[in-house]
Amino acid sequence: MIYLDYSATTPVDKRVLDTFNKVCLDYPGNSNSLHSLGIKSKELEDYITNKISDILKVKPTEIIYTSSSSEANNTAIKGICFKYKNRGKHIITTSLEHSSVIAPLNYLTKHGFEVDFVNLKSDGTVDLDHLKSLIRDDTILVSISYVDSELGIVQPIEEIAKIVKKNPKTFLHVDCTQAVGKINVDFKNIDLASVSAHKIYGLKGVALLIKKENIVIEPLIHGGKSTTVYRAGTPAIALYASIMKALELIIPNIDKNIEYISKLNKKIINKLEKYDNVFINSTNKSVCNTINFSLIGIKPETFIHALDAHQIYVSTKSACSSAESMSNSVYAIYKDKNRASNTIRVSLSYLTTEEEIDEFLKVFDECYNKLMLKRGNNENN
């Protein structure tokens, strides 16, 4: 098996799973209970939160545990907009955002909010001059992903933050789901940020919303006492421990992993560029983990199934995107519907071996030639 879909989800690190299992067995008490088992769980909960705050360099009071980045994104966007709607109802975002950002924004338009999309430059990064021109007195929120899930484009968040901060009424939300673990992320100038465990070799079902402590938001989930007033639910201590462990393992190795994965990235792109019907969509601003390309003349689903038959696993777009739709991200940059309708994403990891890449390129060549020949025969008949 050759797995090349790490941007969709990563395999669980055994050390993370061991941590989860140990906490499940050794800490049965509800951390909100007053008996000794509850106190023991509360002490571990506080340790975990403090450890995560040290790793990410944020305050413990700024950490909100959620079930997913989708929940974190929804909580941040709806929470800000409903809490501060008296300040204004104007929102700015990009065409590269994940569906868990676009969907709540579409929902908010039904409640009187207005959404503008900032222009992108040819490399996929935000046009900062256009962003400046879009910000108004009633702009309440700017929501921009640090690294998008399809093309892996890294946005200049520090420069974006400086622009946003010029309007004291405007908050900056950054979806860091595809960034944490791949690049070094500084949360200092970000008001709200989303982080997920299953993108960094952790478990599905746990994520974080980092929220500056001076910001108040309207909760998405109301209920009883939990780890924070902003998200009700029984504290899932074992899951919190698992994301702590995942962060502890991945963050110190980012630079080393970038150096290794960059070599694999170059090897793949150098090979793919030689095919007449392959167009590389990733830009020089994309993370090395993500290679997005369009394969013209062969349906992406057909090619993916051909690779699947060899136990090689890639994807078309973000795993949360509609299978039938074209890539909005690719179209936003290249304005080519054909190119945007035929995208394939290969996503790499420090776990990916050079031997796996050699085999992938070999099988890619076989499938490409076979399917192109079949296409030519069909056209001639």
Give me the DSSP letters along 187-207: -TT-SEEEEESTTTT--TT-E
Determine the 3-state secondary structure of 155 from DSSP.
coil
pTM for the model: 0.94
Q: Would you state the pLDDT for residue 224? A: 79
What helix, strand, coil percent values describe the chain, rounded to 5?
45, 15, 40
pLDDT of the residue at 326:
86
Tell me: pLDDT of 191 over 90: yes
- 291-325 in b/e form (b: 16+ CB < 10 A) is bbbbbeebebeebbebbeebebbbbbbbeebeeee
Q: For residue 260, give the H/E element and its range.
A: helix 254-272
**Residue 348 confidence (pLDDT):** 98
Q: E-assigned strands of 232-334?
A: 278-280, 290-295, 312-313
> Are 141 and 80 a contacting pair, CB within 8 Å?
yes
Q: How confident is the model at residue 225 (pLDDT cuts 50, 70, 90)?
A: confident
Contact 98, 318 (CB under 8 A): yes
Write the DSSP string, 62-115. GEEEES-HHHHHHHHHHHHHHHSTTT--EEEE-TT--HHHHHHHHHHHTTT-EE
pLDDT band at 378 (very low <50, low <70, confident <90, very high): low
List, for residues 129-145, the tens digit of each pLDDT value. 999 999 999 999 999 99
Q: Which amino acids are annotated catalytic? A: 320
Residue 241's closest CA among 17, 25, 20, 65?
Answer: 20
Amino acid (one-letter) located at 311: Q
What confidence tens digit (pLDDT) does each residue in 77-125 have?
999 999 999 999 999 999 999 999 999 999 999 999 999 999 999 999 9
pLDDT digits (tens, 9 = 90+) for 128-185: 999 999 999 999 999 999 999 999 999 999 999 999 999 999 999 999 999 999 999 9
Confidence category of residue 248, pLDDT binned at 50, 70, 90: very high
Q: What is the percent of the chain with per-residue pLDDT over 90, rounded to a whole number? A: 92
306-325, pLDDT tens digit by residue? 999 999 999 986 555 555 57
- Whether residue 204 contacts residue 197, with contact meaning beta carbons closer than 8 Å, is answered with yes
Average pLDDT over the chain, rounded to whole?
95
Q: What is the pLDDT of residue 381?
A: 53
Q: How far is CA 301 from CA 21, 80, 186, 197, in A?
A: 38, 39, 37, 28
Listing DSSP states for 30-65 in one string gives: -TT-SSHHHHHHHHHHHHHHHHHHHHHT--GGGEEE
Lowest-pLDDT choice from 27-41, 282-296, 313-327, 340-354:
313-327
